[in-house]
A and B are shown apart, each in its own frame.
Chain A
Amino acid sequence: MNRVDLLKNRRAALLESGLEIRAVIDKIIDEKSFVELSAYSFSESEFYGEKAEGEGVVTGFATVKDFPVYVVAQNPSVFSGGVSKANCDKICKALIAAQNNNTPVIYILDTKGVRTGEGVSVLEGIADVLYEMNELRGEVPQFAIVNGDCFGAFSLIAAACDFTFYTDKSCLSYASPAVIAATAKAGTDKNGVGGKASVAKTGIADFTVNDVSEIRDKIAAILSIVPVTGSPFEDNGDDYNRSTPSLDEKVCPDCLIQAVFDEGSAIEIGKGFADDVRCVIGRIGGMSAGALLFDGGEDGVSLTGEITEKINNFVCMLADFSMPLVNFVNTKGISKDFNVSSSTVLKSVANLVYNLSGLTKIGVVYGKAVGLGYSLFAAKSMGYDYSYAFCNASISLFDSLEGAYVELGGVTSENEAKLAEKYKEENQDPINAAKDGYIDNIIEPRFVRQYVIASLQMTER
């Protein structure tokens, strides 16, 4: 057999060992753009006594809508995607190449855990992968796609990535549902442990899709917005001076997203987890930016540990990629609920203060900025470059009813509504904060886009 035929046979065997995962890769990347690396790094599993062709992981580089990316894809066809030392070495080679070339990485995760029998070697391998991932953090965006089961230490990869995708087949957990069931001596629901149903509790999934093919467009859109891979400024033709008169009547997070972000550019991250706060990236006046939008209706959002954690993750991601933050504030500060008070919320808020420092940020109070809600998300003393308030917003130390009880006194169940209204009229008008120089301007809601763009233009310089 000549060398070319031998190579063809070897390649056929290699492709045969990863048909399933290669089909998944093909759905994400541009057609015929994948160049495989470390393709023939075979080794023999001492424990199983079998050859592990391709070492259970496919690595290489490709393009996604013309954006270059590195791909690390676990192959569930080889030892159920079991993680080995050789497997980790192969991944690290790809990550070092990505770092040298400043290129984003896409991880396609599908593993039942580590291959037993390798002892501490595999633990070293896992540490090596996590170390290299950390080296890439803030340099390039890292995407994780939980393609099937992802148990064991590699579940950390999904948690460590900047953007994580879940599909209908996803199940991500450190301990597999079988182990959890054995520990609990009871049956467990796989979907509830790490499937789509767990998204609302874990907050790991940034995007939930029905099929892997939907991920391609989303990755390309993110890469075009994030300044390190896209362009910090891209004029998309949306009018800088577009006003939204309907905001004068009704303000909500969705209305603000439509009013402020350039048409079709907004991408929401972490939908399904702590939805009282919405995290969105996109372009505002052509500039890359992130926005934190507090929902909460008329009452405003009360901060919990989960909400603060979501904000922390978002703020860290923006800081990593040098993207400015615009807050649309409607919060009463930390919740006074017993469960929240006895949780880790204070530590999370303290971390948030640290994470917010150094970030370019603009505060726009559209609803309530009460108590710590004002200090954290709109106060110039917190380092906000510009702070604005809608003319119908409320800024104060206390919420209206609380303020009536604390500051007015003589409140009874009959007159509390009236006195709360009195407190609101006398103390919550944003003009008070503006008179003291804490708020730069009080604006008509319809012109919020103009104010945000003009301010971002100044911070950009």
Chain B
Amino acid sequence: MNGLLASGAALTGVTTFFLGLIVVFAGIAVLVAVIYIIGKILGRTKKEKPKAEETEPDDTVDAVNAAAASQTADGDIPPHIRAVITAAIYACLEKNDDGCEFIVRKITRRS
């Protein structure tokens, strides 16, 4: 009788052990899945925003915006800072454009 009782208790312990393992790992898997899905959703919405802001057809601006957008997906450049950086880079590129170094203006003539 005692031997039977002892073997029954051992069986219950093993079952509990395996059940515990399954429950813990299943919980972890669900948690990973939830985090992954949330991450995906957040990433998609933040990538869509810069596309909506793009108004300049210029290639250089596209490139700068795309770079800025990828930064934001990783996390942390606010839109107004991004706009300032874009403007600064664009102004710099403008200076290097092959325009004449001066502008001819209409002059005031003596009467």
Q: Using a CB–CB distance below 8 Å, which chain A residues touch chain B?
A: 233, 235, 240-241, 243, 285, 444, 447, 450, 453-454, 457, 460-461
Contacts and interface: CB of A to CB of B under 8 A. Distances in A.
Interface residues of B, number: 11
Given A450-B103, A454-B102, 18 more contacts: A233-B109, A240-B104, A240-B105, A240-B106, A241-B100, A243-B100, A285-B104, A444-B98, A444-B100, A450-B100, A450-B102, A450-B104, A453-B104, A457-B104, A457-B107, A460-B109, A461-B107, A461-B110
Contacts, number: 27
Nearest to B109: A233
Contacts of B98: 444
27 contacts: A233-B109, A235-B106, A240-B104, A240-B105, A240-B106, A241-B100, A241-B103, A241-B104, A243-B99, A243-B100, A285-B104, A444-B98, A444-B100, A447-B100, A450-B100, A450-B102, A450-B103, A450-B104, A453-B104, A454-B102, A454-B104, A457-B104, A457-B107, A460-B107, A460-B109, A461-B107, A461-B110
A285 B107 CA distance: 11
Interface of B: 98-100, 102-107, 109-110
Nearest to A285: B104
Contacts of B100: 241, 243, 444, 447, 450
The secondary-structure label for the interface of chain B is loop
A235 B106 CA distance: 10
Nearest to A448: B100
Contacts of A447: 100
| Cβ-closest 9 pairs across A and B | A240-B104, A447-B100, A450-B100, A453-B104, A457-B107, A454-B104, A450-B104, A241-B104, A241-B103
A241 to B, nearest CB: 6
Contacts of B102: 450, 454
Q: Which of A233, A235, A243, A454 has the most CB of B within 10 A?
A: A454
Q: Which of B98, B100, B104, B105 counts the most chain A CB atoms within 10 A?
A: B104
Nearest to A449: B104
A67 to B, nearest CB: 23
A235 B100 CA distance: 22
B28 to A, nearest CB: 65
B48 to A, nearest CB: 39
Contacts of B99: 243
A44 to B, nearest CB: 56
A457 B103 CA distance: 13
B71 to A, nearest CB: 36
Contacts of B110: 461
A453 B107 CA distance: 11
